[in-house]
Amino acid sequence: MPFLNSNINLEFNREKLFDSNLFKSLQIVEIHCASENRVILSKDIESQVVSPDWMNLLIQGDNKYVMQSLLESFKEKIDLIYIDPPFFTGGDFHFKTFIGEKNTYVSKAYSDSWDGGLESYINFIYERLILIKELLSKTGSIYLHLDWHVSHYIKILLDQVFGEDNFRNEIIWAYPAASVKTRKFYIRSYDTIFFYTKSDKYIFRDDPHIYMEYSDRVKTALKEDENGLFYYRGGSHNGKKLSRKVYVESDGIFPRDVWTDIPYIRANTSEYQGFSTQKPERLLKRIILASSNENDLVADFFCGTGTALLAAEKLGRRWIGCDITPQSIHICRKRMLDVKNSNDLFNWSKKYKKEFKPFKLSKIHNNENDFHIPGEYLNPNASSIPELITYKKPDFDVSIETKEDSIQITLSNYKIPYTQYLNPKIIQKISHFSDWIDYWCIDFNFQVDHINCDWTAYRNPKNRQLRLCSKIFNFKETGTYKVRIKVVNIIGHESEKDYIIEI
């Protein structure tokens, strides 16, 4: 495929990209359902596409392999795809690890440096755009979020993959620039979002909830009477000034392609998750409402902290989310579990209050031996630590109380076997064993190869307390049951144990 910059070659093996023999399978590791009704799914993903028991999908893995694995069942079935990939900045991006009830530790989320430079980055994006086009429905749309670094290159890629005629908008999301000290050039304070469609027949809705607010000048001029809001329109006749009432039918104006009315995420806001590149829910609200219908399928293959997934959930869409980092998937999982306590997208000052719809967490692979400490958590002064060590997993203890047909479990201890390798700045923030723990869940009747989460407890940035005692769970029948417990620590390491109980 030719590229306008002759120094860049777009190279990939299309035949290999679509070779189903090379696709990797998805393995379900957890299922979450807000009600106490257990849901055991078939492993046949295709049957779930048309099933009324559809479950949203949260997937950990390289999005290239994830999209390949989805092709068999989801080819031309996704109605809207939003992606917020790395921006080719050359820098590192960070997130806060929340420790216990008060402490934090800042570590690297991902590096935006590329071996092979710009050519490597562009080929990375190009391969994924090819797969995205295959997954998009015939009336589907893609929104690709970037900034000034490479947006001009990616615009050309999008033209080649989706066609110049299917370009709809270059959206400018302008926001205040925080703490910028440069005086050598104009301050950069906007991102670019490219909007393309699969064809010339696509979903685009004139929904009043996507409208932008009137300008301050217009809002000042608006008045109200028994018939509603109006302003005076001026004019003249025979040298005499005239004016008449003009009533407005909406609370704002249809969006232009420059969006100045959506603030970026600050650390003191309710939706902040500790990621430096987190996007606001209200940004995704406009995109999802405009380019999808209720119950349509929305996907984000660089889902980060899960903003697009959360917005899709609240707006009545089905969703698929994917990210390569376990930290991102863990944050997405907790945000979805806690969605009822987040802001209502139609009334931001109120809570959403609704429980999440069922979703499953899957991995593109689940190698139990793949257990390492990310470099950002290691002791920087311990030069004897090899770059890659296989560590023994953490262990935990519980106390189990059974009464007739009920059970209650208390997490009583948690032991880290590799503290000598960790950064001392982390160790000094631990005052109780529970400070290591970020999330734990219980399957009170473990029967299959994944956990059906009957009960969960977790910390989030605004509610740092963690319940160490589960709810009382009642069994409907007497018998022997296997209980599986999973504990996830602040580094993201998972430990599981099974217990056999008699009821």
Asked whether residue 388 carries a pLDDT value surpassing 70, the answer given is no
Q: How much is the average pLDDT of 191-216?
A: 93
pLDDT given at position 486: 97
The structural domains of the chain, ordered by start, are 14-166+195-206+275-324+333-363 (3.40.50.150), 216-247 (no CATH), 375-502 (2.60.40.10)
Residue with tokens 């999808």: 292
pLDDT of residue 67: 96
Residue, of 234 and 434, whose pLDDT is higher: 434
Whether residue 369 has pLDDT greater than 60? no
Least confident of 4-13, 360-369, 463-472: 4-13
State residue 18's pLDDT score: 82
The pTM for the full model equals: 0.89
Burial profile 457-471: b = 16 or more Cβ within 10 angstroms, e = fewer:
bbbbbeeeebebebb
Strand order in 455-458's β-sheet?
455-458, 437-443, 480-489, 494-502
- Contact present, 19 and 131 (Cβ < 8 Å): no
Indicate if the pLDDT at residue 371 is higher than 70: no
- Where is average pLDDT lowest: 4-13, 216-225, 299-308, 444-453? 4-13
Mean pLDDT of 389-400: 85
pLDDT above 70: residue 43: no
Q: Indicate whether 348 pLDDT > 50.
A: yes
Q: Let me know: does 486 contact 496? Beta carbons within 8 Å.
A: yes
Average pLDDT of the segment spanning 479-503: 94
